[in-house]
Structure 1
Amino acid sequence: MKWLNEVISRPAVLALGLLWFGPVIAGEQGMRSLSDFQWRNRLILVEGANEPDQRVETLRRHAAGIDDRDIVWFVVGDQGIQSNLEEPGRDLQRDVRKTLDAQPENVSVVLIGKDGGIKQRSQGLDVAGIFALIDTMPMRKREKR
Structure 2
Amino acid sequence: MKWFNGVIDWRPVLALIVFWFGSVIAEEQGVNSLSDFQWCNRLILVEEANDPDQRVEALRQHAAGIDDRDIVWFVLGNQGIQSNLEEPGRDLQRDVRKTLRAQPENVSVVLIGKDGGIKQRSRVLDVAGIFALIDTMPMRQREMR
TM bin (shorter chain)? 0.7 to 0.9
Instruction: Indicate yes or no: 2:25 matched with 1:22.
Output: yes
Report the Cα distance in structure 2 between the residues aligned to 1:48 and 1:114, rounded to whole angstroms.
23
The 4+ residue runs of structure 1 with deviation greater than 6 A are none
Runs (5+) with no aligned partner, structure 2: 1-17
Tell me the amino acid that sits aligned with residue 122 of structure 2. S
Q: Which runs of 5+ in 1 are unaligned?
A: 1-15
Query: How does 1:11-90 map onto structure 2 within 5 Å?
Result: 20=22, 21-24=24-27, 26=28, 30-90=30-90
- State the match for 1:4 in structure 2: none
- Output the CA distance in 2 between the equivalents of 1:47 and 1:110: 9
TM-score norm. by structure 2 comes to 0.84
Give the equivalent residue in structure 2 for 1:109.
Answer: 109
* 1:22 Cα offset (Å): 1.1
1:30-80 Cα offsets, whole Å, 9 max, x none, are 110000000000000000111100000000000000000000000000000
Deviation, structure 1 residue 23: 1.8
Counterpart Cα distance in 2 of 1:38 and 1:58: 24
Alpha-carbon distance in structure 1 between the residues aligned to 2:123 and 2:82: 19
The CA distance in 2 between the partners of 1:22 and 1:110, in whole Å, is 30
- 1:106-130 residue CA offsets vs partner (Å, 9 max, x unmatched): 0000000000000000000000000
Residue 127 (structure 1) aligns with: 127
Identity %, equivalent residues: 82
Output the amino acid matched with 1:22: I
Q: Quote the RMSD (CA, aligned, Å).
A: 1.7
Task: Tell me the secondary structure at the aligned position of residue 121 of structure 1.
Answer: strand
Aligned residues: 127
Q: Which residue of 2 aligns with 1:137?
A: 137
Amino acid in the other structure paired with 2:113: G
TM-score, length-normalised on structure 1?
0.84
